[in-house]
Amino acid sequence: MDRKQFLRSTLFLGGLGLASSALLVESCKKSSSTSSAQGPSANFTLDISQSPYTALKTVGGSVALNGVVVICTATNTYNALAQACTHQGCSMSYSSNQMVCPCHGGSFDMNGNVVSGPPSIPIKKYTVTKSGNILTISG
Ligand code: FES
């Protein structure tokens, strides 16, 4: 092998190495990305002084509406999370600072992150604002 042949083969192999590295980096990006939270779009209000929403006047109270569970987590503090489990879509309810799925035992924290399986995808968390007795849920 003369010098020209050596340089050509070295450049060729170097190019293959770079291409392989780029593919590996790209495949790692795909496998390490997390799925985005799932839940319906929401934009509605409710009056906590009116039935059936008065449960939201009590800390720990919750109401399900429009595919969203609204929770009173502390005095004048509210949270809203998607009601459907991201595993197989069962309707969940609020219990002890978690959203709990009755079908296969999945659970989510108050930010919508998976606490226990089998779900792997978080549930959507909504914005809740309060003005007097009116809660506005959006997201
Ligand atoms: S549907 Fe919720 S854990 Fe399976």
Question: Model pTM?
Answer: 0.76
Domain holding 100, by residue range, is: 43-138
118 prior amide bond cis, ω within 30: yes
**Does some domain include residue 38?**
no
Place of tokens 């800390």: 59
Residues 18 and 70 in one domain: no
| 90, 83 contact by CB (below 8 A) | no
Does 119 lie in the same domain as 87?
yes
The closest residue, in CA terms, to atom 1 on ligand 1 is 88
Kindly report, residue by residue over 35-74, the tens digit of the pLDDT: 799 999 999 999 999 999 999 999 999 999 999 999 999 9
Torsion over CA: 110, 114, 116, 121 (sign)? positive
Cβ–ligand 1 distance for 90 under 6 Å, the answer: yes
pLDDT at 89: 97
Residue 38 buriedness (CB in 10 A; 0-12 / 13-18 / 19+): middle
**Considering the domain boundaries, does residue 61 fall inside one?**
yes
User: In which residue ranges of the chain is pLDDT below 50?
Assistant: 6-7, 10-33
Asked whether residue 5 falls in the same domain as residue 27, the answer is: yes
Residue 95 belongs to a domain with what CATH number? 2.102.10.10
C-alpha of residue 88 to centroid of ligand 1, in Å? 5
**Count of structural domains, the chain:** 2
